[in-house]
Structure 1
Amino acid sequence: MSISKVVVLGLFLGVSLVPGTAVQSSPSATSEPVLLRTMQQELDRAMSSLSKAEPAPYFISYSASDEFNSVIIASNGSIVANINRHERVGSITVRVGGRDLDNTHGENRFNAVVNATLPLDDKPDAIARVLWLNTDRMYKKASQAYLEVKTNTKVHAEEDDSSADFSTEKAQVSIGKPAVPPKFDQKEWEKKIRSFSAIFSRYPEVESAQVILAVDSPTRYFVSSEGSRLITSRPLIRILALASTRAEDGMELARSETFDGASFDNLPSDEVITAKIEKIAQDLKKLKTAPVVEPFTGPALLSGRASAVFFHEVVGHRLEGQRQRGENEGQTFTKKVNQPVLPPFLSVEDDPTLATLGGTELSGNYSFDEEGQKSEKVELIANGVLKQFLMSRMPVKGFLHSNGHGRAQTGMMPVGRQGNLIVRSSKSVPDSELRDKLIEEIKAQKKPYGLYFEDIAGGFTLTLRNMPQAFQIMPLMVWKVYADGRPDELVRGVDIIGTPLAALNRIVLTGQKMDVFNGECGAESGSVPVSAAAPAMLFSEIEVQKMAQGHDRPPVLPPPGFDDPGSASQHNQKPEAR
C-alpha cells in the first residue's frame, strides 16, 4: 500500500462552490428516494458551477452508503454487547485534467476521495449542504494534486505503462429497492447467541471465545457525471464463532467459523451451528497438546477450503489490475498474458454474478462494483494459460476497460479486487482416493511423511517490487500423514511459505468436490467480502516454516468450575491421532 503525502490547502483557488438550496424535482423524479434525487441535483449543480474553474473537473461521482446494523455479541453464555445503528456515509470523487492524465495518477490515487457523514433524515437541504461543502473540499484537493502530477511527469523518467488514468465506460442505470432492515425477534436471538457461546464454557482449554450475530442491511446510492444512477442493496446475516487458547509453550491457537445468509431463512440450522461450535472447541482442545512440526519440504494435500484460500492469496491478488501497472509492484504475471502460469488442467475465473455455488451462498456476490460498473464473469486463466486481469477503471497496457471488479470498502478508492474466485480442474479423482495418492507421492519421494492441511485461516502475499515475491499462508488444522501406516497425527505451529510460480506448478492432481471459503479480504482499498472455491489439491512439494510463537504462558489458575483436579484431568489428552 502506498503512503500518500498530506497537502495542506489554504486559500489556494479562486473558484469555489457556493451553498445552494435543493432544486425542486420534476414530477417524474419525485418517486425516487430523496437521497438519490438530492445527490443527482447537487452533482449537476457542481459540474455546472465548476466548469468555469481552472482546472475544470471532467468527472464527479457521489456514492452514499445507507446502512442499518444490528449486532449481538455473547461470551460465556452472557450478552456482552447489543448494538443497533443507522449510519449514512457519503464519498465524493472529483477528477480534474483529462482521462489520459488526472489528479489520481500514481501515488495520488488513494488520496482522491473525500468522505462525509450524511444526515439520517431525508431532508434535501441538509443533505445538499454536506455534499456542497465536501465537493468544494475535494475539488481543491484534486486541483492541488493535479498540479503536482503535471510537475512530476516532467521531471520523472517515462513510465513503462503509459495507459490512461481513467477508462471510458458506458453509463449504468439500475434503480433497485432500498434495503429494509429484516424484522427479527431480538430476545429470541439473544437467547440463541447466549446458548451458542455457552458451549465454549464447557471446555477449560478455551481461554476466550465469542459468538456474534451481525445483521447488515446496506443500500448503496451512486450517481456520476457520466449519467450512471444506481441503487443497490445486498442484506447479509452473519454468525461468527471464534475461540482461542494457548499451548504450554506460549503458542497462540485460534479457530473460527462463519455462517452467512442473505436472510435468516438462509442460515444453517441451530443443530449445524452447534456442531460446528463444538468442533471448534474440540479442535482447540486437541491443538493445545499437539506437537510442533519442524520445517519441512515435501508432498502435501490441501482440502478444498484450504486450496481456495491458497489460490485467493497466491494467485488472485497477483491478478488484480493495478498490480500490473504500479512502478513499485512486482508484476509477477504482467508479461505472461497468453503464457502458461498453471498446470494445464487448472482454470481460474472470478464471477461475482454468482449468488450460490453448490448450495452454498457466496459472500463475493454483487451486481455493480463501487465505480458503478456492472459485475462480470472474468476468465482469468484457461487451461493453465493467463488470459486477463481483474480490472477497475484504471487501465493497464492491453486491458483498457473495466470488467466490473473496481471494489472498495465504503469511503475508499476502488481498485481491481476479487469477488468470487473459482478454481476448476480437468484432472481429478474422487476425494476418497486423494489420501492414497498422497501416500504414493510420499513413498515415491522416500519421505517419512507428508502433510494434510484441513483448514486455513488466511494469509498474506507480498507483491511490491522492493520485497521478495513470496506468500505466507497460516494453516489452522494440519496433520502428518505417515507412509508406514501409522495413524495421522495432528500437529501445530507451521506456516506455508514459498514463491508463487514455483508453488503453483507443483500441483499434480485435484479432487472432484468443490469447497467454498467465505470471508473478508483486506487490501489497499479496504476490507471487502469475498469468496473462493476450489477442489482439494495434491502438491508434489510444499514448504512449511515454524510460525511465530508467543511467550506468555497459559493461565495459572483453572477457569471457574474446574478447580477440582479430577474435573480438569478428564480434559487432558495425548496428541491427537486418527
Structure 2
Amino acid sequence: MKKHLFTFALALLSALPAAAADDAVLKAMTDEMRRTVQRLRMDNLAKPYFVSYYVEDSTETSISAVFGALRDDNSGISRNARVDLRVGTPGFDNSGYAGQDFRGYEPGSAMLNEEDGYDAIRFSLWSLTDDVYKRALENYSQKKAYQAKKNITEHYGDLAEAESASLFEDRKTPEPFDAEEWRGRIKNLSGLFRKYPKVQNSQVGFNRTLRTARFVSSGGASYRRWWDGVSLNVRATVQDRTGLKIGDEKDFSWPSLAAVPPYEKLAAQVEEFARNMSSLVENVTPEVYLGPVLFEDQAAAEFLNQLFVANVSFPRTPWAERDDYTRYYIASGGLTKKLGMRVLPAFMGAIDDPLRTEYNGEALTGSYPIDNEGVRPAPLELVRGGKLVNFYTGRAPVKEFRSSNGHARGAVNEFPEPRPGSVFFSAQPARRAPYAELKKKLLQAASENGLEYAVIVRRLDPETSKDYSELLSEPVLAYKVNVKDGSELVLGAAKWAGVTFRALRDILLVSSTDQVYNYYQPGPFYYNRGYVPASLVAPSALLVQEMELKPTDTKPDRKPYLPHPYFAK
C-alpha cells in the first residue's frame, strides 16, 4: 500500500510542471521536492515520508500619519518559504512536539530571493530542507522518548489521508493604486483628531498587501493562488479624570481596494471613534455589577469570536516536556471537548463557509478556495440547535475527527492550524428583536433583579490583549444605563469577573439585523503568532442574561504637566 501511494504521488509530481510551465518558482519547488522525496537520506536514518513546500510572495505598501502629517511611508517586496518535512509514518512522526523550547516551536522557514531565478530558488529550498530534515530526525527521536516516558497510549496519528487537490489561478490585472492619493487620505484622516483635545495620542495607518501563495506536496496536492488585503488601523489614547490611561484601536479590513468604502464614510467612522475616545475622559467610576449585559456592534462580534470561534479552533495541543507550561504559550480550543453538548442557546446555529465571498454586498475577507495543507473546504456546520456538531480540523487527527475539513490556515512563520474562514451565525426569528426592544428587555431584566442600572458594552479590547487565563477581553466602551429613563453614562475602566462558556448559553435575545465583521484572527502560538483574515456574519447585538463586572486593577498615571501644544494656542 505504501509503495502504491508513493508511486501515485510521484506520478502527480511528474504531471505538475505541465500545469505550471510558465512559473519558475513553482517548477523549482516541484523539482526540488521530487529530489528530496526520492534521494534525501542521512546514513541509515529514516528518510522523509512526506514533504511540502509553501512559498509566499508579498508586495506591501504601508502609510501612517499622526495629526495630519506623514509618519511612515514604506513599500517593499518579499518572498518567504515554509517546509513541512516528516519522518516516521503517518501514524507517528516528528510533528506536534515542542520539546523544552516553546520559543523554537515553529516550522522551518526562510527568506528566498525575490527574483524568479529557478536555480537560486532551488538552492535556497535545498539548504532549508537540509536543515529541516536534521531537526526532524532529532524531534522524531525525542518525541518517541517522550511518548515512552509519559506512557502515552492514546494517540490518533499525525497525518491523515486527504484528497489530492489542485488549484492554479491566473493573476488578475492588479487594481489601480494611487499612492499619492492614499497618502493624502491618511493624512486627512489623522488630521481629524485635531478636533478632539482630550485625545493625547493618535495615529492612522494604512496597509495594502498583494500576495501570491504557492504550495506543492509529496501527497500530490498543489496550488497557486492570489490573495490581497487592504487594512486601516486607527488608534488613540486618553487619560480619564483619575489619570488612568485608556487606549483603543479600531481595525478595518477588506479583500481589495474596490471594497473600501468612500472617504466620507471612513472619515465618519474615524470621527465616531475619536468622539467615543473623548467621552472616556469624563466617566463614572464602576462598581461591582452582576446583571444583564447588552453587547452591541464590535463588542457583539468579539463576544462570539473570543468565546466561541477561538474555542472551536486549535483542537490539538503539541506535546511538551513542560506540559504544565503549555497553557501559557499555546492556545487550545476549550470547546472542542464539548462535541454534542450545548454551547450556544438552543435557538442559535453556526456554519462556516469559506467559499462565500460576500454577504448582502459586503466583501468577506475570510473566504478562501483551498487551505494551507492543500485541502479544499466546504460549508461546515458547527452548531445545530445550540449543540456543537463540528469543530475545525486539519490533517492532524484528533479523537473525534480523523480527517481534515479544510481549515488548516496560518502565516508563513507558523504551523498551519485549524481555524475559521467565514462564520455565519443564525437565530430563530422568534428570538430576534429590533434594537429598541433589546434595550427595553435589558432594562426590564435589570429592574426585575432589583438593579438601578444595566450595562451596555459597545467595544471590547482586542483578543490578543487578554491574559491566558481569561476567556473575554476587557470592555473599552461600556455604559451605565439608568433603569428608569434609559439614560447612559460612560463607565470607567472595568474588567470581567468569572467569565465561563456559560455566557454563550445565557444569550437571551439577538438583534433582528446582522453585521459583517472582518478581522484578523491570531494564531495559537505566543512566540511566533501569525494572523489570518476571517469574517463573522453575526447579530449586531446580543442580550446576555448575567455577567459580572468589577473595577480594573490598573493604577492611574500622572497627567501631563503641560497641555497638548496644538490645543494650548
Taking structure 1 as the reference length, the TM-score comes to 0.87
Q: Closer, same or farther in 2 for the Cα pair 1:324/1:29, shift >3 Å?
A: closer
Distance 2:390 2:466 in 1: 21
Deviation per CA, 1:235-259, whole angstroms, max 9, x where unpaired? 1122222222122323222343333
Return the letter of the residue paired with 1:101. F
For 2:386, which of 384, 387, 390 is the aligned residue? 384
Distance 1:490 1:461 in 2: 21
Deviation per CA, 1:159-213, whole angstroms, max 9, x where unpaired? 5x42111111011110112476543222222111111111112222111111112
- Report what 1:15 is aligned to: none
Alignment check: 8 A CA contact 1:248 1:553 kept: no
- Report what 2:370 is aligned to: 368
Deviation per CA, 1:379-436, whole angstroms, max 9, x where unpaired? 1111111101111111111201111111111121111112223322112122231111
Distance 1:31 1:115 in 2: 25
Deviates more, 1:332-341 or 1:115-124: 332-341
Cα displacement (A) at 1:516: 2.8
The two structures, once aligned, show a CA RMSD in angstroms of: 2.6
What SS does structure 1 have at the residue aligned with 2:232? strand
- Report what 2:462 is aligned to: 458
Distance 1:111 1:320 in 2: 19
Distance 2:293 2:367 in 1: 31
Does residue 252 in structure 1 map to residue 245 in structure 2?
yes
- Report what 2:562 is aligned to: 557
What SS does structure 2 have at the residue aligned with 1:96? strand
Deviates more, 1:275-284 or 1:369-378: 369-378
Q: Report matched runs for 1:104-123 at 5 Å.
A: 104-107=95-98, 111=105, 113-123=107-117
For 2:78, which of 64, 83, 87 is the aligned residue? 87
Alignment check: 8 A CA contact 1:392 1:404 kept: yes
Does residue 143 in structure 1 map to residue 137 in structure 2?
yes
Deviates more, 1:441-450 or 1:147-156: 147-156
What SS does structure 2 have at the residue aligned with 1:211? strand
Alignment check: 8 A CA contact 1:74 1:80 kept: yes
Alignment check: 8 A CA contact 1:247 1:289 kept: yes
Distance 1:553 1:361 in 2: 44
Q: Closer, same or farther in 2 for the Cα pair 1:355/1:457, shift >3 Å?
A: farther
Aligned length: 537
- Report what 1:102 is aligned to: 93
Does residue 47 in structure 1 map to residue 47 in structure 2?
no
For 2:450, which of 446, 471, 482 is the aligned residue? 446
Deviation per CA, 1:308-365, whole angstroms, max 9, x where unpaired? 2111111222212524887767874344322222221111222222222233322222
Does residue 217 in structure 1 map to residue 210 in structure 2?
yes
Return the letter of the residue paired with 1:191. G
Return the letter of the residue paired with 1:309. E
Distance 2:516 2:460 in 1: 12
Cα displacement (A) at 1:502: 2.2
Alignment check: 8 A CA contact 2:349 2:425 kept: yes
Cα displacement (A) at 1:561: 3.2
Alignment check: 8 A CA contact 1:406 1:414 kept: yes
Q: Report matched runs for 1:471-486 at 5 Å.
A: 471-485=471-485
Cα displacement (A) at 1:36: 0.7
- Report what 1:56 is aligned to: 47
Deviates more, 1:435-444 or 1:257-266: 257-266
Cα displacement (A) at 1:284: 1.6
Q: Closer, same or farther in 2 for the Cα pair 1:357/1:251, shift >3 Å?
A: farther
Deviates more, 1:208-217 or 1:251-260: 251-260
Cα displacement (A) at 1:65: 0.7
Deviation per CA, 1:448-505, whole angstroms, max 9, x where unpaired? 1110112223336999xxx86x513222221111111151212121223434332222
Cα displacement (A) at 1:307: 2.0
Return the letter of the residue paired with 2:67. N
Return the letter of the residue paired with 2:274. A
Alignment check: 8 A CA contact 1:313 1:461 kept: no
Alignment check: 8 A CA contact 2:17 2:30 kept: no
Alignment check: 8 A CA contact 2:340 2:389 kept: yes
- Report what 2:122 is aligned to: 128
Cα displacement (A) at 1:128: 0.5
What SS does structure 2 have at the residue aligned with 1:196? helix
Alignment check: 8 A CA contact 1:304 1:534 kept: no
- Report what 1:510 is aligned to: 510
For 2:275, which of 274, 282, 289 is the aligned residue? 282
- Report what 2:21 is aligned to: 31
Deviation per CA, 1:37-66, whole angstroms, max 9, x where unpaired? 110011001111126862011100000010
For 1:416, which of 415, 418, 426 is the aligned residue? 418
Distance 1:284 1:331 in 2: 33
Return the letter of the residue paired with 2:126. W
Alignment check: 8 A CA contact 2:41 2:48 kept: yes
Q: Closer, same or farther in 2 for the Cα pair 1:462/1:383, shift >3 Å?
A: farther
User: Unmatched 5+ residue regions in structure 2?
Assistant: 1-12
What SS does structure 2 have at the residue aligned with 1:341? coil
Cα displacement (A) at 1:112: 5.9
Alignment check: 8 A CA contact 2:346 2:385 kept: yes
Alignment check: 8 A CA contact 1:179 1:235 kept: no
Cα displacement (A) at 1:299: 0.9
- Report what 2:345 is aligned to: 343
Alignment check: 8 A CA contact 1:166 1:395 kept: yes
What SS does structure 2 have at the residue aligned with 1:158? coil
Return the letter of the residue paired with 1:137. D
Distance 1:461 1:162 in 2: 34
Taking structure 2 as the reference length, the TM-score comes to 0.88
Distance 1:461 1:207 in 2: 21
Q: Closer, same or farther in 2 for the Cα pair 1:30/1:395, shift >3 Å?
A: closer
Distance 1:360 1:255 in 2: 25
Alignment check: 8 A CA contact 1:472 1:498 kept: no
Does residue 527 in structure 1 map to residue 518 in structure 2?
no
Identity of aligned residues (%): 27
Distance 1:385 1:94 in 2: 37
Alignment check: 8 A CA contact 1:245 1:253 kept: yes
Q: Report matched runs for 1:223-238 at 5 Å.
A: 223-238=216-231
- Report what 1:4 is aligned to: none
Return the letter of the residue paired with 2:348. L
Deviation per CA, 1:506-539, whole angstroms, max 9, x where unpaired? 2111111112322222222522222233211111
Distance 2:256 2:17 in 1: 35
Q: Closer, same or farther in 2 for the Cα pair 1:140/1:201, shift >3 Å?
A: same
- Report what 1:14 is aligned to: none
Distance 2:358 2:437 in 1: 27
Distance 2:477 2:17 in 1: 61
Return the letter of the residue paired with 1:494. A
- Report what 2:405 is aligned to: 403
